[in-house]
Structure 1
Amino acid sequence: MNCWHYSFAPRRCWRIIGIILLAGLYGPSTRAEPPLLQTLSPEQLPPEFFTFTPEEFWREPEDSYWMAFSNWVIRQEHTQSRRIQALGAWADRTLSGNARSMPDNASYLRLGLAAESRTSDLADFDPEVRFKLDLPTAEEKLRVVVESESEDLIPLEERQRDRQFTDDQRSDTDPTGALSYLTRISDTVNFSNDVGARLRFPPDAFWRTSIRGRWGLSDWRLSARQRVYYFHQDGWGASTRFRLGKDIGKGWSFLASSQAVWKHDDRRFDVAQTFDFHKRLNNRSELNPRIGVVGGSDPDWRHETVFADITWRYRLYQDWLYGEIIPSIEYDRENDFQEETSLLFRIEMFFSGNVIRR
């Protein structure tokens, strides 16, 4: 029978259609999906997701000095991160003359505590402090950057092995402040000009220009950077860097890095070659083995240091508290290439208003 023959048929037909649809959705032939909370419950997640057993998820925390101290540290991260973000936003608005701050402010404060034990030398804990005040102004091509140190004034070997050194082993540098003008030449090449000074008395003015590029070569990734700089007290210099990397399977990635630095006043080249492997073991830890060699042209081309290290990095809490263990071995010309081993422990805290903290 055609239901449209009756005056009330349209309403009745719509009801019939609705009943049929509901029966199709909730009828016995349809298997209901489990609730999301049940799917993501600790009992349902795979064991490799956790760094503890699923039964420990329900345990009540025990009151202790460690719990009180850790809660204090967590409160400090929340408080200081907001302050750093507010400071960066205020300085950005003030310098740009715009009432709104840019969203990509990358300011951070990094605090650490490191202890290194070398051959015939006991471990000694040293505090570490690094900071960056990164202020994108209202103009997209202009930035103000204040950093605790300048890469250009750090020896090349120290740059390559920065994570292996404690703060007292690093070169003494001064904070720098610079106004950076950014230009995009193409989709893969960027150009920047920086004018600033080392923040000390009397100030040491500097200028540097950099050009960077990134390209994809089939399965490989190639990046290059060329930089020329001038510091009023240290003179001219230049650096060239090439990096070539790819994914090599089973979660491992490979990166080969070549770098050369020219010091004009010393008439010397410093060169470094490193081979870097990286794998994220789970959602908390990662592994980073490396081998490398550093050399120079004073008086002739020769290698100065050969090293190898393995960094195991563990995320202790959320995305701002990390721990590291770095065993390493090196052969240095100054020690007649005698074997020297070391083991470094480090804990780092990142205070930042930006989700990108590295």
Structure 2
Amino acid sequence: MAAQADTPMPDDDSDLPEWAEKRIGPFHATMTDWVDGTSRSIDGFFGTTDALTVDSDSYLRISQENAWKEGEAFDHDLGARFRLDLPTTEERLRLIIESEPDETRGTLGEQESSLSDDRIDSIEDVLVGLRHLGQGDRTREWDTEIGAGIKVRLPLDPYARLTTQRLWTLDDGPWKLHSDNRFSWFNEDGYSARTRWDLGRPIDEKRHLRFISNAQWREEVDTLEFSQAAELNQRINSRSVLRYSAVVLGESLSHTTIEDSYLQLRFRRDIHKGFTFLDIAPSLHFPRDVDYEHRWALTLRLEMYFRRFIDRVTM
């Protein structure tokens, strides 16, 4: 589920009571101005005066997630993720300051089971680095980006990263295939690689079908992980969407094992003006560690975005 930027909001753009709107509005405006102003101030120092006018991809997101699994207690996590994206520096380099890079998000199973990519300890993993933007049109050729920097911790942990993306339209038809690949090196954790292939097509104006394949290898655990998912995204209205998912997770090096498979229904609702969202996601799992017996799970998530341009939920 993605977002569509800077779309006029309808009159009925909130589910919150009036007293809550009055409290949230000024707080959100202040924090958004701070995020946007900070990124432009840093960018103006390192780059050009375009920092005052060029759109920034900087944001701050805070979230509260409550997760329950059958036989276990509720797990409560307060998460945060931020990104300062400075697009007007010299030679089209971007200075990136971000918390919790993709390489630190754990196994594919942990990534797939989470509704987002926040962790309660995400502030401990902060990257500062430069990223060189690719020049290619990914619909015609591979779009390649190269980045390097340090993870801010003691001792400092240098890293390098290569990413490639490509988008194909199959036989000029409705099917599109997107490939997203990353190869990374961190001095402390070693090498890692991840590839993602996303094949999808719209069924009609409100429904979209996707088949997603992921594979990941990390030197520190020396295991090849893979996942295969089938998703049907359905728009209910301008503020609500449903996602029906069937997912298989496994590992393979010396032999292949299926670690978990599950069915999930995810409901996502824009509950306030395009920057506050509620997710409800019940799921039925068949994990290997209990001999593939079924286990129910439920995740509730509330998140708030702080950025200059308001995004709306979409498929």
Report the TM-score when normalising by structure 2: 0.85
- Tell me: CA distance 1:103–1:215, structure 2 relative to 1, closer, same or farther (3 Å): same
What is aligned with 2:159? Answer: 206
Name which of 215, 231, 247 aligns with 1:292.
247
Q: Secondary structure at the match of 2:55?
A: coil
Name which of 71, 86, 89 aligns with 2:37.
86
The C-alpha deviation readout for 1:219-268, integer Å capped at 9, x for no partner, is 11111122211110111122221110001236110111111112245442
One-letter code aligned to 2:155: P
CA–CA distance in 2 between the matches of 1:331 and 1:164? 22
Greater share of strand residues, 1 or 2? 2
One-letter code aligned to 1:110: R
5+ residue gaps in structure 1? 1-44, 53-60
What is aligned with 1:137? Answer: 88
Name which of 60, 67, 79 aligns with 1:109.
60
What is aligned with 1:13? Answer: none
Tell me the CA shift for residue 316 of structure 1: 0.9
What is aligned with 2:110? Answer: 158
CA–CA distance in 2 between the matches of 1:164 and 1:99? 34
What is aligned with 2:5? Answer: none
> Is the 8 Å Cα contact of residues 106 and 354 (structure 1) preserved in structure 2?
no
Greater share of helix residues, 1 or 2? 1
Name which of 176, 194, 201 aligns with 1:221.
176
- Tell me: CA distance 1:151–1:173, structure 2 relative to 1, closer, same or farther (3 Å): farther
Does the alignment pair 1:319 with 2:274?
yes
One-letter code aligned to 2:284: I
Does the alignment pair 1:178 with 2:133?
no
- Tell me: CA distance 1:231–1:174, structure 2 relative to 1, closer, same or farther (3 Å): same
Does the alignment pair 1:240 with 2:195?
yes
After TM superposition, the structure 1 = structure 2 runs for residues 267-282 of structure 1, keeping only pairs within 5 Å, are 267-282=222-237
Does the alignment pair 1:100 with 2:50?
yes
CA RMSD between the two structures: 2.7
What is aligned with 1:197? Answer: 150
CA–CA distance in 2 between the matches of 1:164 and 1:340? 21
- Tell me: CA distance 1:146–1:171, structure 2 relative to 1, closer, same or farther (3 Å): closer
- Tell me: CA distance 1:244–1:173, structure 2 relative to 1, closer, same or farther (3 Å): farther
The C-alpha deviation readout for 1:99-147, integer Å capped at 9, x for no partner, is 2306231111111222223213443543221111111124473111122
- Tell me: CA distance 1:51–1:70, structure 2 relative to 1, closer, same or farther (3 Å): closer
Tell me the CA shift for residue 345 of structure 1: 1.6
What is aligned with 1:42? Answer: none
Task: Indicate the structure whose relative CO is greater, using CA pairs within 8 Å and at least 6 residues apart.
Answer: 2
> Is the 8 Å Cα contact of residues 237 and 261 (structure 1) preserved in structure 2?
yes
One-letter code aligned to 2:88: T
Q: Secondary structure at the match of 2:29?
A: helix
> Is the 8 Å Cα contact of residues 276 and 302 (structure 2) preserved in structure 1?
yes
* Paired residues, number: 297
What is aligned with 1:309? Answer: 264
After TM superposition, the structure 1 = structure 2 runs for residues 7-46 of structure 1, keeping only pairs within 5 Å, are none
Tell me the CA shift for residue 90 of structure 1: 0.5
CA–CA distance in 1 between the matches of 2:296 and 2:288? 15
- Tell me: CA distance 1:72–1:171, structure 2 relative to 1, closer, same or farther (3 Å): closer
Tell me the CA shift for residue 291 of structure 1: 1.1
One-letter code aligned to 2:183: V
Q: Secondary structure at the match of 2:56?
A: coil
Tell me the CA shift for residue 282 of structure 1: 0.6
The C-alpha deviation readout for 1:190-221, integer Å capped at 9, x for no partner, is 11001012111111111011111112121111
CA–CA distance in 2 between the matches of 1:133 and 1:164? 19
> Is the 8 Å Cα contact of residues 196 and 215 (structure 2) preserved in structure 1?
yes
5+ residue gaps in structure 2? 1-9
CA–CA distance in 1 between the matches of 2:95 and 2:244? 35
- Tell me: CA distance 1:312–1:357, structure 2 relative to 1, closer, same or farther (3 Å): closer
> Is the 8 Å Cα contact of residues 100 and 118 (structure 2) preserved in structure 1?
no
One-letter code aligned to 1:100: D
Q: Secondary structure at the match of 1:163?
A: coil
What is aligned with 1:30? Answer: none
Which has more radius of gyration?
1
CA–CA distance in 1 between the matches of 2:94 and 2:116? 31
Does the alignment pair 1:149 with 2:100?
yes
